[in-house]
């Protein structure tokens, strides 16, 4: 099974080094290189602390989205919960 077809959790279990590489690449894109401030792709919330954020699939896996840096974004925990809630309402 190709890694990109697995969830981040499954990748972390199977290949921790690859998981860290993907996660770091996604956070690097969302982080201001000068200030170190991370920005939520949905709400615009900003903080220097990673613990306020989660990684989210732009195109959900349920719709064929892959776990690749290009299909992942950094979002605040609150924005992620709301996005997931709205996606679940559509089901």
Query: pLDDT tens for residues 24-50?
Result: 999 999 999 999 999 999 999 999 999
Comparing CA positions, the residue from 63, 67, 55, 59 lying closest to residue 26 is 55
- pTM of the model as a whole: 0.91
Distances (CA, A) of 61 to 6, 32, 89: 9, 28, 16
Spans of all domains in the chain = 3-89
Q: Give residue 5's pLDDT band: very low, low, confident or very high (50, 70, 90).
A: very high
């Amino acid at each position: 099974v190709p890694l990109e077809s697995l969830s981040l959790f499954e990748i972390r279990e199977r290949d921790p080094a690859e998981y860290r590489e993907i996660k770091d690449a996604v956070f690097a894109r969302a982080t201001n290189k000068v200030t170190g401030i991370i920005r939520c792709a949905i709400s615009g919330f900003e903080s220097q602390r990673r613990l306020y954020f989660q990684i989210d699939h732009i195109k959900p896996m349920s719709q064929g989205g892959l776990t690749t840096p290009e299909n992942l974004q950094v979002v605040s925990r609150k924005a992620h919960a709301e996005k997931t809630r709205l996606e679940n309402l559509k089901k």
